[in-house]
Amino acid sequence: MAQVTTTTRPAQTCTVRVPAKINLQLSVGPPRPDGYHDIVSVFHAVSLFDEVTVSHADRTSISVSGEGGSPVGSGGSFPRSNSSGGSGGSSPRSNSSGGSGGSSPRSNTVVPLGPANLAVQAAVALARATGRRGRTATGVRIEIRKRIPVAAGLAGGSADAAAALVACNELWRTGLSVSELSEIGASLGSDVPFALVGGTAVGLGRGEQLTRALVTGSYHWVLAFGVSGLATPDVYATCDRLRAVRAGGGPGPADVPAPALNAELMGALRSGDPAAVGPLLGNDLQPAALSLQPLLRRALAAGREHGALGAIVSGSGPTCAFLAGDADEASDLAVAITGAGVCRAVVQVSGPVPGASLVESGAAT
């Protein structure tokens, strides 16, 4: 759950930590008239975090280090008046920001450093929603330290937007509730509301309509990162194309069933038994991701071969998530997948974890 404080002493800097997400279930309906897809998603926040620090500034600027960061010494600075577009972080076909910080529909593994960045858009949107006017009132320096890969199906861009909302809400003492921040976040990307609350939750609509899920215990995962990113709009478009091919023509809305929650999966999550959860993981976008990056088949097979209880492409991919029985098994699995040479990097995580949370607020003296 996003941490929102109510103290009155002004802060000079605020740092927020925000987790990646994986999808334990992702069911995708037919395209809607507006180009989006209705989905049913079981979101699960895991212990892979970005950190976003904001501070007062005369004009807005942004810098990114770590995953997707630009060369040392580079950054983006621009007049606040040019930072519009806070309501459009995602393509109509993508249902989310795609974890790329609001980048173009083409696969891109570098986080943008200008108005296209979702964290910048989040700051702009919050300023507008709370009536802040003028460069001195809305200027902010944003520093993102990324561990969540870009365009990886882990909602890294949405996570950074959520962190920026929480951080600026604290920095500017705007006093918005988590619910109010979520409403702003939903206009930026479908995954932003979940990044604010974290835990495990069921998402409906575009994924922004959340209901907290009852989950027992912790789950241990190994995440295998793809060699290159996948753009979320491309994956949704490929999903539609593959469905059309399977149907022998162009399926209309009636040819693709409405997405439905897997009640058996929800029961397994309540039981706290990873062996029951693993076989029930599901993702309608997985065939599309495998079509676009066939190497992912080898990664999934390697995980299963080395004892994963469940193996799935997370979201739009290309990250593969492998469920283990406990932390020791996850450690062994991470070593085995690394040795198989089927991915760029491997990380061991656990979940569920809280959403965007304030970790430091430097008060004025």
Active site residue ranges: 21, 191
52: tokens are 């976003």
C-beta of residue 317 within 8 angstroms of C-beta of residue 231: no
Of 147, 172, 129, the C-alpha closest to 14 is: 172
d(CA 162, CA 11): 19
Residue 73 CB partners (closer than 8 Å, separation 6+): none
- The residues with which 363 forms a beta bridge, in sequence order, are 11
Residue with tokens 């976040």: 185
> Residue 242: is it exposed, middle or buried by C-beta count within 10 angstroms (0-12/13-18/19+)?
middle
Bridge pairing between strands 200-204 and 310-313: unpaired
d(CA 254, CA 257): 7
Residue 59 CB partners (closer than 8 Å, separation 6+): 77, 78, 79, 80, 135, 139
Give the chain's largest Cα–Cα span. 69
> Residue 262: is it exposed, middle or buried by C-beta count within 10 angstroms (0-12/13-18/19+)?
middle
87: tokens are 């309501």
**Residue 7: Cβ within 10 Å count:** 10
Residue 354 is given by DSSP the state B
Q: Which H or E run includes 220?
A: strand 219-225
Length of the chain: 365
Q: How many helices (H) and strands (E) does the chain have?
A: 11, 13
Residue 4 CB partners (closer than 8 Å, separation 6+): 166, 169, 170, 176, 177, 178, 181
